[in-house]
Chain A
Amino acid sequence: MKWHIIFAAFAAFLLMTYAEEEEAARLLVSKQLLNKYLVENMDIVIKYTVYNVGNAAALEVEITDNSFHPDHFTHVSGELNARIDRVPPYTNVSHIVVVRPRKFGYFNFTSAEVLYRHKEDAGSLQFAASSEPGEAIIVSFRDYDKQFSSHVIDWAAFAVMTLPSLAIPFALWYSSKSKYEKLLKPTRKH
């Protein structure tokens, strides 16, 4: 029984050393939305992070995201197709794109595609898909504004509306006060 365990451990060790000897890049790609809320016509920040967990540098890493159709999104900054020449082993690099949704409602954020060369002399390109942020709701700007705007105009309107009920009595009182003070002044002199 003991021999079995020792043998298995030895086999595992051999496998590990073999795996270590095989030098190749392995990429994990994440796609994140860095927003608290998704709002129509406001910035959405998308961050693509490429982690190289392999033991060789990944070359010609090309990130392509076709999930933002121009009918649904305006492109603000950052390009949806980018190439990073080299991702060294055990490091990560990121790429950022800013878009604005044109419409509100549910939207399914799907994955981006990544093509890379996992070895210096690799004949074919390796394909990888990023994580999917999934379905999210894009709030209409009207609803967002209703909830989060500072409502300065609303309160200013309120102030204007309450002004007559405050100003008219004050004006009446002030006019009578100044009238009586005028009458009082000559009597004091005597």
Chain B
Amino acid sequence: MMNRFIIFSILIICGVSEIFAETCQKPEVIASAYVTEDATILTNVAFTTQFVLKCSNGVKGITLYAEVDGKSLPAARLSSDNKYQVSWTEDVKKARSGDYNIKLYDDERYAAIRKALRNGEDPNSVKPLVVVVLNNPGIYRGPWINSELLAVLLAALVSYSAFSSKFKLLA
């Protein structure tokens, strides 16, 4: 099977300078991701990632927002403690391969981004809480050449060489 779970190494960018009781300090993330690589029977490619957020100050149950390629998505909270899921779909033809950076923001940072957008400032100035990297190794859309076509081409090649050598001998 081409599809498998991939465990990712995690980039941690933490710009923790303010001391707030509710902010997550030194965030650490353990993530697993899944991409539907075999897209022969799909109309959309699904990207899902699940992760557990750990904070050094033991903060739990915070609301997280994610941003991927300019799209903002909410992180859904899962049944177990501090586990989240971020998922989205893309059209099979438009899905690119490579790394996707999932930037996660908490309430405060997300508000700062929206404020920056309202005031026409650069939203990239707000540092994300954590960045999770999802790698899409490439999507399989089926064989690029039909085996029937290949067989026909081979047969044509063999018969052409046979006939041409025969006529050369007879001439």
Contact = CB atoms under 8 A, between A and B. Distances in A.
Interface of A: 34-39, 42-43, 45, 47, 63, 76-79, 81-87, 93-98, 144, 148, 150-152, 154-155, 158-159, 166
A177 to B, nearest CB: 9
B156 to A, nearest CB: 14
Contacts of A150: 142-143, 146-147
Contact of B34 (A34, A98, A151, A154): A98
A151 B154 contact: no
Interface string B63-100: 10000000001101111000001011100000000000
A151 B87 contact: no
Nearest to B63: A85
A84 B41 CA distance: 29
A151 B34 CA distance: 28
A93 B146 CA distance: 40
A82 B78 contact: yes
A84 B36 contact: no
Contact of B77 (A84, A94, A154): A84
A151 B78 contact: no
Contacts of A36: 41-43
Interface residues of B, number: 35
6 contacts: A77-B33, A81-B79, A95-B87, A98-B36, A155-B148, A159-B154
Contacts of B76: 63, 79, 82-84, 95
A35 B41 contact: yes
Nearest to B166: A173
A76 B46 CA distance: 12
A77 B79 contact: no
Contacts, number: 107
Contacts of A166: 158
Given A45-B36, A93-B74, A82 B85 contact: yes
B56 interface: no
A181 B163 CA distance: 21
Interface in B5-55: 5, 33-34, 36, 38, 40-44, 46-48, 50
Interface of B: 3, 5, 33-34, 36, 38, 40-44, 46-48, 50, 63, 73-74, 76-79, 85, 87-89, 142-143, 146-148, 150-151, 154, 158
Contacts of A97: 48
Contacts of A152: 147
Closest 10 CB pairs of A and B: A77-B34, A96-B87, A82-B76, A34-B44, A45-B46, A85-B63, A83-B77, A150-B143, A77-B48, A37-B41
B21 to A, nearest CB: 18
A126 B76 CA distance: 19
Given A47-B89, A77-B34, 18 more contacts: A34-B43, A36-B41, A36-B43, A42-B38, A43-B41, A45-B42, A77-B5, A78-B46, A78-B85, A81-B79, A84-B77, A85-B63, A86-B63, A87-B74, A95-B85, A98-B48, A148-B142, A155-B148
Given A34-B89, A78-B87, A96-B46, A155 B36 contact: no
A47 B146 CA distance: 32
B32 to A, nearest CB: 8
Contacts of A35: 41-43
B148 A151 contact: yes
